[in-house]
Structure 1
């Protein structure tokens, strides 16, 4: 049985969409549970690629190809997982800060988080502070992830932090930021808990934030 899972993981890592779909179907026919295929085949494959990316041994095109392959496998499982309690690692609201129309980095972060078991709600680009707050409240989010690609828009990130505080959400919602001009020092200066400099690091950072102690 583990042969199916190993093949699925390797196929996801290499971005072989056809092999992923084929092997997922074979694993189901062989009696493997959908949850096992997801948690022990698909997710380990994308996690392995994420580690290679962080180590400089894989690049963005490979991330995109592999996430597409993983989605094809998840698509085969989705009807079977519907209505079942599938463990999720946390709920994340993502968006690009108000005034900024860049979305490539945000989209990659979304793909990687989803592929690693997070429930992700994408607010798009040019997102004002009150929209982040409303989504965090309505979705009971664990993390608000904010992207900024311009130095002229990154200065609006503190507005989101302040709005979360004023809404009484700051004690339970953690904030993670990233983007070309963002640094760990800036994250510390504006008082947010999380910082990621690429889409693979965002997964580790989100996981760390979920596991860390409540704010305050």
Structure 2
């Protein structure tokens, strides 16, 4: 698909370059925010193009995604959303800075079997863990995948996640495994 080529071979590598330059101090927060805004607009255009391309296909399942409480960085989550939708999943995007209770409510009310949580800042990893604990404490019948630049697979397992998604493609692979 042309849209996946654009996403995988152009947009994601461009965002990787921006992230690398930011980490090395070659660009600063204003440039990072500008790049994020441009990427968001690109993904919206691709999403619109894909929606207009033909008849909607049957949903392969519902997925709740959210950037955890205290974290306002949602570039990665937005990329994951577009890719999951491209694979035919119905994505309920709760946004950024999302309270654990809102994740619980959306998951239960929509009978969702897969929840994706994102965090970019180390200071919000506690919120991610709190969200996972709340879902487990309420015996919600769902799998939880987590991702974000500050996470490792070991840490993801330590806080109770079922899956660690190192990138957007892996999120789609996890969704296919969980939801078929």
Cα offset, 1:13, TM superposition:
4.6
Runs of at least 4 residues off by over 4 Å: 61-67
Higher-Rg structure is 1
Mind listing any 5+ residue stretches in structure 1 that lack a counterpart? Answer: 1-8, 16-48, 212-216
Alignment RMSD: 2.4
CA contact (8 A) 2:147 2:165 kept: yes
The farther-off stretch of 140-149 and 86-95 is 86-95
Name the structure 2 match of 1:186. 155
Indicate how the Cα distance of structure 1 residues 123 and 159 shifts in structure 2: closer, same or farther if over 3 A, else same.
Answer: same
Counterpart secondary structure, 1:124? coil
> Which residue of the partner structure matches residue 77 of structure 1?
54
Instruction: Using the TM superposition, give the Cα deviation of residue 62 of structure 1 relative to its aligned residue in structure 2, in angstroms.
Output: 7.4
* Aligned counterpart, 1:166: 137
Q: What is the aligned counterpart of 1:107 among 70, 73, 78? A: 78
1:14 to 1:93, Cα distance in 2 relative to 1, 3 A: closer
Distance 1:89 1:160 in 2: 25
- Asked if the contact 2:119/2:147 (under 8 Å) is kept, the reply is yes
The 5-angstrom pairing of residues 130-149 of structure 1 reads 130-149=101-120
Structure 2 unpaired stretches of 5+:
16-38
Change (3 A) 1:114 1:126: same
SS at match of 2:130: helix
Residues 1:134 and 1:13: Cα distance change in structure 2 (over 3 Å): closer
Q: Does 1:198 align with 2:153?
A: no
Mapped partners of 1:162, 1:70: distance in 2: 33
Query: 1:155, CA displacement in angstroms?
Result: 1.9
* Cross-structure match for 2:3: 12
Change (3 A) 1:97 1:13: closer
How many correspondences in the alignment?
155
TM-score with structure 1 setting the length: 0.63
Residues 146 and 175, structure 1, Cα contact 8 Å, conserved in 2: yes
Deviations 1:118-140 (A, max 9, x none): 10011111111100000001111
Q: Does the Cα contact within 8 Å between 1:14 and 1:66 map onto a contact in 2?
A: no
CA shift for structure 1 position 190: 1.2
Distance 1:93 1:116 in 2: 15
Q: TM-score, normalised by structure 2?
A: 0.75
